[in-house]
Amino acid sequence: MDGTQRKIGMQSWLSFELDGIPRRVEGMPMHVTLASYLDGRGCGNGRYAQADRWLGGAPVILLDADSEGLAVYRTVDSARLLLPQIEGTVIYTAEGILRLGGPDHPVVRALQNHPELETEPSACAAWLIALFEAYYRPDLKNRQQLRSQLDLVISRTVDPAALEAAAKEVLEEAHTRLAKPHRSSAGPGGQAQDRYGDAFSAVLFRPMPEAADFVYVDDAKRRYYRPQTVMELLRLKAQYREARLVSGGGSFADRAKAGDTWPALISLDGVSELRLSIAHPDHWEVGAAVTLTALEEALGEEMPALAKMLRRHGTRAVRNRASIGGHLVAADPRSDLAPLLMALDARIVLTGLEGEREAPLSSFFETDRRTILRPGEILRSVLIPRFTQELLGARGCSTRCCDYYKVAARRQNLPGVVSAAFAIELDHQHLIRKAWLAYSGVTDRPIRARQAEASLVGKPWNEATLVATLRPLDQEVAAAGDELATREYRRQLVVTLFQKFFYQHPHPEQAEPVELGATLEFLRPAEAC
């Protein structure tokens, strides 16, 4: 791909590169997924379209842009991508990696060195794709990141210890090659080589071209629009009131598999200003189309609770496509992200042709999966405050504690039964200046326990304050009147998770955190791979 921007009118065909070969697809229904297309071409022996997304889906590699706009390889679930979404992109399958990488590629070699990993085809393909992305990730440096990378390999036939051993071998070679001087030369068949010394790396770490303007129309006159500016997007939304906005595409692909169709879809993928994370002195401005992976890359180090939450949301393939705006607009009562953003005191920016307005994220959600979005509006960005020592000091605070907790049937790739995020700001006398207690999974929308928050202000952060808060907190959530809140197990979690937060963060009566349950992994210093 030469990086030049093309202006394309309405067309009934689309093109992309698959395993190094240009493809042109004509007349395909707009709602067909990449997985269905691959199965239709006899790829993967039927494993793509039949894949269960809760068991890792049908992963492939997509050449995408990272949080700085540089080209990187991302694992994505082909069953959660509509075909028009891959117009102009580069895709690799597990079979393509084996063929193009050859026996000397470290990931292919790992397959040969660990025959115990040669299990049923879908699991084998999943771990090959996971290791491929890991190999080209210069930011993958600790054990938690590695486990997060491998979380899409959900199979009883794969030995986790053997998989982790193979991954470490691959990463050691990647780190060794990255330490060497860069090189650029012609490889086998005249292909350019760079950085890692193989044909796959020639395009990496260079600016990704912006997605071209694109309009696709299928034989049933259904249309897919990919505008390049917010104004174009808003005009299309006003013109086609029945059109739906699509970014990551996961929910639309799931519904398409169930037989749903739409007269028109408007993609956010081409609007570059919605894919930016901008650092201001006192806050981050995160565009609605920023993926959860890009969000972690930009803010994860500065906000550990956010990184912790993202590691437990779906799989790597899901996070590589799901966007922050799409997640929030879905208004899922069990949202993983909403409670944490509430605890970070986030605000949202809503934009329409008539102008912009701001609102606290905590007031964004209404009942029955509705939001305060007006007709014609979009969620443009999320504003997340920064909590530097200087900014805290200006508010008369000395310390801010923030953490996230999720209770689910499985560690990865399942929605939480209850998710919670808490934050407190303390002054120099260890008195609480402000508190945030946010939950999802306990009512029909994510909520903050505002009465309990108010009751904490001005009190010392100690065990007596904790005990005095638990009963009012339980009553406040139960009084929401939702059926979920009356279920005993969920009500117990409301107070238990807040207790866990208290004991896991040092306070005047306790110099060291108490080790409690599964969150222990995130309390220890990151282990090197």
**Which pTM value belongs to this model?**
0.88
Closest among 133, 146, 137 to 61, alpha carbons compared: 133
Contacts of 515 (CB under 8 A, 6+ apart): 504, 523
| Domains of the chain and CATH, by start | 1-208 (3.10.20.30), 276-389 (3.30.465.10), 397-523 (3.30.390.50)
Strands of the sheet with 347-352, listed across from one edge: 277-279, 283-287, 378-385, 347-352, 355-360
SS (H, E, C) 89-115: CEEECHHHHHHHHCCCCHHHHHHHHCH
- For 403, the token pair is 């953490």
CA atoms of 176 and 113, how far apart (whole Å):
19
pLDDT (tens, 9 = 90+) of the chain, 529 residues, equals 443 344 446 899 999 999 999 999 998 998 889 998 998 887 767 678 777 776 778 899 999 988 888 899 999 999 889 999 999 999 999 999 999 999 899 999 988 888 877 677 788 888 899 999 999 988 888 878 888 888 878 777 777 888 888 888 898 888 887 765 444 443 333 344 566 778 798 888 788 888 888 999 999 999 999 999 999 999 999 999 888 999 876 777 677 666 677 889 999 999 999 999 999 999 999 999 999 999 999 999 999 999 999 988 888 999 999 999 999 999 999 999 999 999 999 999 999 999 999 999 999 999 888 999 999 999 999 999 999 999 999 989 999 999 999 998 776 667 788 999 999 999 989 899 999 999 999 888 999 999 999 999 999 999 999 999 999 999 998 887 555 544 777 888 999 999 999 998 866 655 555 555 443 333 333 444 4
CA atoms of 328 and 307, how far apart (whole Å):
17
CA atoms of 135 and 457, how far apart (whole Å):
48
Task: Name the residue type at position 117.
Answer: L
Q: What pLDDT score does 258 carry?
A: 64
Cα–Cα distances in angstroms (integers) from residue 75 to residues 36, 299, 334, in the given order: 18, 20, 25
Cβ-count burial 57-74 (b if 16+ within 10 Å, e if not): bbbbbbbbbbbeeebbbb
Strand partners, 359: 348
- DSSP conformation letters of 141-190: -BHHHHHHHGGG---TTS-HHHHHHHHHHHHHHHHHHHHSPP-EEE-GGG
Question: Which helix (H) or strand (E) segment is 62 a member of?
Answer: strand 59-65
Q: What pLDDT score does 139 carry?
A: 84
Closest among 66, 521, 149 to 308, alpha carbons compared: 521
Radius of gyration for the chain, computed over Cα atoms and rounded to the nearest angstrom: 24
Q: What pLDDT score does 1 carry?
A: 40
Cα–Cα distances in angstroms (integers) from residue 66 to residues 54, 62, 110, 319, in the given order: 25, 12, 26, 12
- For 49, the token pair is 């379209």
Closest among 44, 11, 43, 42 to 28, alpha carbons compared: 11
Q: What pLDDT score does 345 carry?
A: 97
In the DSSP assignment, the letter for residue 431 is: B
Tally Cβ neighbours within 10 Å of residue 268.
22
- Confirm if 323 and 289 have CB atoms less than 8 A apart: yes
Q: What is the CA angle 226-224-321, rounded to 5? A: 65
CA atoms of 54 and 389, how far apart (whole Å):
41
Cα–Cα distances in angstroms (integers) from residue 209 to residues 1, 2, 18, 461, in the given order: 9, 8, 18, 51
CA atoms of 522 and 506, how far apart (whole Å):
15
DSSP strand pairing (264-267 vs 223-226): parallel
- Confirm if 460 and 431 have CB atoms less than 8 A apart: yes
Task: Name the residue type at position 174.
Answer: A
- For 526, the token pair is 């990151």
Task: Name the residue type at position 417.
Answer: V
